[in-house]
Amino acid sequence: MNLLDEVKNEVIEKKEWPDFKSGDTITVHYKIKEGDKERIQQFRGIVLQRRNEGSVETFTVRKMSGNVGVERIIPVNSPMIEKIEINKKGKVRRARIFYLRDLTGKKARIKEKRV
């Protein structure tokens, strides 16, 4: 491990989130600053991917807002995340499900994993 990795691990505080992966439907409670006010906004969607590891890990969440797809890339260790809830566990075969972008209607559904 080099010096840069050691400094990153000391500076960034790591939070414990529930274990989620691509295909899961999650709700991310995200802090938003508007001027001097701060509020929490919920972003609910399907996880398309988890990327990297350690202090630079990110995940991509996609939701449909009307007929427009909205994707957001969120760092796992972001101080703006209040909490993460898992709504559904998805059954997918791939780690990155970008094919979901091209599908609409019933084809865009992901089967739910029964626990």
- The DSSP string of 43-109 is EEEEEEEEE--GGG-EEEEEEEETTEEEEEEEETT-TTEEEEEEEE-B--S-S--GGGGG--GGGG-
Find the mean pLDDT for residues 71-79: 93
CATH class of 3-102: mainly beta
- Rounded Cα gap, residues 48 and 21, in angstroms: 8
DSSP summary character for residue 12: S
> 3-class SS at 8?
helix
Mean predicted confidence (pLDDT) in 83-105: 93
Count CB-CB contacts under 10 A for residue 59: 23
pTM score over 0.95: no
- In sequence order, the β-bridge partners of residue 39 are 32
Distance CA 40, CA 33 (A): 9
- pLDDT value of position 1: 61
Higher pLDDT pick, 92 / 2 = 92
Q: Binning pLDDT at 50, 70 and 90, where does residue 73 land?
A: very high
| C-alpha–C-alpha distance, residues 90 and 94, integer Å | 11
CA 28 to chain centre: 7
Does the pLDDT of residue 4 top 90, yes or no? Answer: no
Per domain, the residue ranges of the chain are: 3-102
pLDDT tens digits, one per residue of 5-54: 777 777 777 778 899 999 999 999 999 999 999 999 999 999 999 998 87
